[in-house]
Amino acid sequence: MPPEVDCRRCRLGDARTSMVLSCGDPDSKVALVGEAPGAQEDLKGIPFVGKAGKILDGLMAEAGLDRDKVMITNTVKCRPPGNRRPKADEMAACRSFLQEELRGKRLILALGLSAAEDLLGKKMVMRDVCNRPAQVDLGDGLVTIMVTYHPSACIYRPAAKDVLRDALKIAASYL
């Protein structure tokens, strides 16, 4: 069940332009989960359509992964002010929506540490977890979660691009 149109479960609903729900194939066995919508996503109501989205689209194409064949979403559905990280209570407010979106998935790519920490409920260090699949029970049975770089990391860390591309190739193999 998606959030109600006038959702005000947390303060993020107060300043949003659009609620940004998942896109792509909701029945896909693969989900890509980011942290939160950015400015372009808030304007268009679609995840990953800004600068990071263009990077993601390019790397998905290189990996042979069609955006329409996976589900793409964020841990929260509204843009945090100033693009700050979502706070724990904001992520908790959207948690039931995220769990519903992820039901039945076989592979979840957590794009960035914030998304991974929300999904897994613990702090991590990227070098310790990056591109290492782990079996996790998110309440609906075991699912493979793989933490990888957020597309925006590719702007500042060129090596992140190869790592993210490899993760996307693994995701393509699940389809």
| Domain limits, the chain | 11-173
pLDDT tier at 104, thresholds 50, 70, 90: very high
pLDDT at 51: 93
Residue range 8-36, pLDDT digits in tens: 888 888 888 999 999 999 999 999 999 99
Of 129, 135, 130, 115, the residue nearest 161 (C-alpha) = 130
Residue range 126-145, pLDDT digits in tens: 999 999 999 999 888 899 99
CA distance 138 to 43: 31
CB within 8 A of 57, min separation 6: which ones?
48, 67
Q: For residue 135, what are its two tokens?
A: 């079996």
pLDDT at 68: 95
Q: 11-173 belongs to which CATH class? A: alpha beta
Residue range 39-80, pLDDT digits in tens: 999 999 999 999 999 999 999 999 999 999 999 999 999 999
> Dihedral sign, CA of 67, 57, 172, 112?
negative
CA distance 78 to 97: 12
CB-based burial of residue 125 (10 Å sphere; 0-12 exposed, 13-18 middle, 19+ buried)?
exposed
pLDDT at 38: 93
pLDDT tier at 147, thresholds 50, 70, 90: very high
Q: 3-class DSSP state for residue 128?
A: helix
When pLDDT is averaged across residues 146-170 and rounded to a whole number, the result is 95
Model-level pTM? 0.94
